[in-house]
Structure formats: C-alpha cells, structure tokens
Amino acid sequence: MKVITGVVGNDIHVVANRLIDLSLRARGFEVFNLGVNTYLEEFFDAAVETGAEVLLISSLNGEAEGWGREVKALKAKYKTLDDLIMMIGGNLVVGSGNAEDIVPRYKNYGFDLVCHQVDLNTGLDLLEVFIEDKKLQKSNK
C-alpha cells in the first residue's frame, strides 16, 4: 500500500520524519517521503501522481493547526482523492492541550485518524486497524 508522508509547513523536524519513514517501510508500506517544510498542496499532488491510498502528515511544532484548517477546502478541489485515508500525528497544537479537544477538532478539519502526542508505533497500529476496517466495510457493501 502506498503512503505519502512528510512534515507540514515551516517545520524542519527531520528526525521524526525519518523515523516515520523507516517505521512505515518496516510494516511493508511503499513510502513516498516528501520530507520537511512541505506545503499541503504538495501532499495532495503527490497522492494524485502516485495513486497513494494513505496520506500521513506529521507536525512537531504545532503548525498543523494553521494548515489543518485548509485541508477540507483544498482536498475538495481534487476529483480523485475521495478515498484517500487522511492521518495526522505529532504535536498538533502550540503550547499545551488535551487530546479530547484536539482530536475532534482535527477530525472536523477532514482527518480520519488523529494522533496527538501518541507513540509512533501505537499510531501506526491504529492506521493498520483503520485500513483493515475500511477493507471490511468495502467488502461488505
């Protein structure tokens, strides 16, 4: 399965980005890593060019809050990305915040999976479960 990943906005957390890349590969995903300082449009465009099924955005400095608000409107401009699984993880706010507030907010932005300050492997476990559930739902239709 193809996954696009990268760090959104003006965020240079390259180590985290590399760890996500390695962990995804270890789990058998085909990874297209756009690296750090990536704009939202580049993520969606990469999904179109590769036919990726998953978009995993990471954000460590809290910039995701600003970019996240634009996800729904931007994704709506693409005609082939309706089935794209949208996941975001990292430190998703500036300062402190609790997951109970943050997760619904990001889901409202258009993300299927939101992992705020969640351990990487736990987050990727959630992704695999989500993919399996989605497959099951599809086969039941």
Partner 1 sequence: MSQNKDKLLIDVGSTYFKVSTSEHIEQHFRDFNKDIFDDLKYKCGEIISRYAKADVNICSSANGGLSALIIGVTHTFSLKFATNIAFNSGINIIDTILYQNIEEYSVPSDLVDVVIVVGGIDSHSNIFSDSLYNYLAQLNYSNLVFVGSEQEASSIKDNIEHAVVLPNIIDDRLHIVEEHLKEYLTNLYQQDIEGKEDIKNLYDITSNQIYSTPYIVNKALPLIDARFSIVNPFILLDIGGATTDIHYSKDLVDDNIVTENEYDRLVFKKLGVYKSKQSLIFAAKNNEFVYELLTHLKVTENIFDEQSEKATKVLMQLAVFLVLCKMSHYKKSYINLKLLAVNSIVLTGGVTKVLAVEDIEYIISFFYKKILTSDHNPVVVLDSNYDIWTLGAQGNELCQ
The residues binding partner 1 (CB under 8 A) are: 2, 30, 32, 34, 41-42, 45-46, 48-51, 78-80
Rounded distance between C-alpha atoms, residue 56 and residue 5, angstroms: 5
Q: Is 49 or 132 the residue whose CB approaches partner 1 more closely?
A: 49
Most distant CA pair in the chain: distance in Å?
43
Q: Is 46 or 60 the residue whose CB approaches partner 1 more closely?
A: 46
Active site residue 11: yes
Active site residue 101: no
Q: Are 87 and 57 in contact (CB under 8 A)?
A: yes
Q: Is 79 or 141 the residue whose CB approaches partner 1 more closely?
A: 79
Write down the least CB distance from residue 78 to partner 1, Å.
Answer: 7
Rounded distance between C-alpha atoms, residue 43 and residue 56, angstroms: 9
Rg (CA), the chain: 14
